[in-house]
Amino acid sequence: MYEVKIKADFSAAHNLRKGGGKCESLHGHNFIVEVAVESESLDEGEMVIDFRLLKGKTKAILETLDHRYLNELPFFVETNPTSENLATYIFGELSRQIDQESRRVSWVSVWESETSQATYRRPKK
């Protein structure tokens, strides 16, 4: 099994609902996002996926979040904009674009600070 990983970033504001304590107040983060893609085989270019393609697709998704108030975005109107749910959202959007029979997004991690990270992994079959 092969796995490749990229990093990207975006900045956004949010406020947590449902017991977020101080985080229920409006605040922002400079989020770091890590994306991993796995494959049991390599493509015709002998890659899991071209890094440029993976970075481009990830960047396009993150641009829809960058410098936004996350609570106002359709996915987060009723879904708490936690790092866990951001990872889930990015995973779903990216999976729809790059998953194929031979490759798939394996996990997405969202760092909201140097010490706080949430990861969404593909469910095991």
> What are 104-116's pLDDT values in tens digits?
999 999 999 999 9
Residues with Cβ within 8 Å of 13's Cβ and at least 6 positions away in sequence, in order, are 26, 27, 28, 68, 69, 70
Query: Is 2 within a domain?
Result: no
What's the rounded mean pLDDT across residues 75-95?
Answer: 97
How many structural domains compose the chain? 1
What's 85's domain CATH number? 3.30.479.10
Query: Is 72 within a domain?
Result: yes
Please tell me the predicted confidence (pLDDT) of residue 6. Answer: 98
Expressed as residue numbers, the domain containing 79 is: 47-125
Query: Is 35 within a domain?
Result: no
Angle subtended at Cα 52 by Cα 50 and Cα 58, rounded to the nearest 5 degrees = 105
Query: Is 34 within a domain?
Result: no
Query: Is 75 within a domain?
Result: yes
Q: Which amino acid is at 40?
A: E
